[in-house]
Amino acid sequence: MSKQTRLFAAAFSFAVLGASLGVGCKKEDPNTAANANATATWGYGPNGGTAPPATTAAPTATVPPTNPTATATTPPTATTAAPTGTATATAPAPVDASVLQPLLTPLAAQHAKGAKPDGQAFAGSLQQGQSLQQNLQLAAGGARCYTVLAVGAPSVTAIKIEMLSNMPPLPPVVVAQSQTSANPSVLAGSPNCYKNLLPIPGMVLVKVTAEAGSGPVMAQVYSK
């Protein structure tokens, strides 16, 4: 074998060996495989078929524009109207006590014998059902004896006098009252004047009510 022939045989052997090594070491590109799978799945390739469906984007939510000039307003405050037909208590109208004093003096001589005025007289012009009130502290242990007298104008036909306990938080209780509602009216007239027999002073409220009629009324507490 000539030298040229030997070189040709060696070159051919290296070519065959290189080709064999190239085939044996070839690796599959994963991207290529994925594309091949995608082509097989959707039927789209060099031989025809339909294209893969287009991907539809999710609709974008529309946010209404903000009005920069809008300002928050405070809701109106609810107001409750006063119910109609509700009676409103009114204080007795003032009256000149000197007008009724001449009527009270002879009454005291008859029903409060030996007693003197305890505090100031109280008076007012009353409508039927209205009352005059005055606080009174009773002496402890029956040390003093009390009488209350009330007189009104002829237009007042019935006057009631009550003495109520006034010691909060205890509820008021009637401890004495006039025997009849008349004009004039007497509570605990002599000799049966009222005494506080408790060993402590007692606070009471003297209440004089026009039970019938209306007009000026005057009352006075006496004690001895």
DSSP 120-163: --EEEEE-TT-EEEEEEEEPGGG-S-EEEEEEE-TTEEEEEEEE
Nearest-angstrom CA–CA distance, 131 and 141: 30
Measured in whole angstroms, the distance separating CA 199 from the mean position of its chain's CA atoms is: 44
Question: Please, are residues 119 and 134 in contact by the beta-carbon 8 Å criterion?
Answer: yes
pLDDT at residue 97 in the model:
66
DSSP 47-74: TB-PPPPPPPPPPPPPPPPP-TT----P
List of domains in the chain:
97-223 (2.60.120.380)
pLDDT at residue 106 in the model:
92
Measured in whole angstroms, the distance separating CA 159 from the mean position of its chain's CA atoms is: 41
pLDDT at residue 92 in the model:
77
Residue 141, CA distances (Å) to 38, 104, 196, 211 in order: 115, 29, 6, 33
Residue 147 is which amino acid? T
Q: What is the pLDDT along the chain (224 residues), one digit of tens a residue?
A: 444 445 444 444 444 444 444 434 444 444 444 443 433 333 333 334 444 444 444 445 454 444 444 444 444 333 333 333 333 456 777 777 677 889 899 999 999 999 999 999 999 999 999 999 999 999 999 999 999 999 999 999 999 999 999 988 989 999 999 998 899 999 999 999 999 999 999 999 999 999 999 999 999 999 99
Greatest Cα pair distance, the chain, in angstroms, is 179
